[in-house]
Amino acid sequence: MERAYHKWFSPILDKSMEMLVFGHSGTPVIFFPTRSAHFYDFENWRVIDAMKEKIDAGYIQVYCVDSIDSESFYSDAPPPLRIARHIQYEKYILEEVIPFIRIQNKKRELIAAGCSLGGYHAVNIAFKHPNIFTKVVGMSARYDLTQALPYFADLFDGYFDENVYYNMPNHFVPGISDPELLQQLRKMEITLVIGREDIFLDNNRHLSDSLHQLNVPHQFYIWDDEAHRPRYWREMVKIYL
């Protein structure tokens, strides 16, 4: 399996960012890491190995990006600065990572995928930019970071503004009314996967219900158990990516 390491200084984030790329061709996949994890964790957890057959066959090319969750959602900064830093991260993906991918890979299609908080990142950016992404896969994800749950706090401590609203799929998706945006969403291949015992199950049901209300086709799969561990993600990526 072809493997390449890349690093450059991001002017948007004002820091160096790293990435691993697996594969030589195929549909590019931006693979977002789990909460506060890093670009190398999916390789260490053998999630990349689970996709080896598809990668070697040139079906997909996987771009494992790094996260800055510890500087945004999980930082000690005031809530407005937390969401502002996240928006910078998304800008980095749109204006630095995607142009880099377009140089490396000439495929028109682009997939966003992730597990746990990475699934949030994937769905959030794809739903806001369905003109760029053709497929999204969210695994074991939470789509409203303002909702306090057992063992999971409201990541904005009760603070809420327009920036928070437009970065929480369970808030902004029900309000989508733009015909062009809806048409683009209806063309996207959308897959949500969650465990039956995962604390985020209702979060996923809410998003699925919202998509149904908008007549946006999607696949919603509920696995047995919590299914919120690398050993489950290794099986999920084989099926859904």
Residue 36's pLDDT is: 84
**Which residue, 192, 228, 230, is CA-closest to 212?**
192
pTM: 0.97
- Token code pair at residue 209: 């219900």
* Coil, strand or helix at 221: strand
Residue 86's pLDDT is: 98
Q: What's the rounded Cα separation, in Å, for the pair 29 and 47?
A: 14
Residue 100's pLDDT is: 98
Which backbone phi and psi does 18 adopt, to 5 degrees? -115, 160
Residue 44's pLDDT is: 98
**Which residue, 25, 18, 20, 8, is CA-closest to 48?**
20
Q: What's the rounded Cα separation, in Å, for the pair 174 and 191?
A: 17
β-strands 135-139, 111-115 pairing: parallel
Is 66 within 8 Å of 36 (Cβ atoms)? Answer: no
* Coil, strand or helix at 194: strand
Please state, in angstroms and as integers, the Cα–Cα distance from residue 209 to each residue in 38, 56, 99, 188, 213, following that order.
32, 37, 34, 17, 6
**Residue for token pair 């039956």:** 196
Q: Provide the residue-wise pLDDT of the chain in tens; the chain has 241 residues.
A: 999 999 999 999 999 999 999 999 999 999 999 998 999 999 999 999 999 999 999 999 999 999 999 999 999 999 999 999 999 999 999 999 999 999 999 999 999 999 999 999 999 999 999 999 999 999 999 999 999 999 999 999 999 999 999 999 999 999 999 999 999 999 999 999 999 999 999 999 999 999 999 999 999 999 999 999 999 999 999 999 9
* Coil, strand or helix at 2: coil
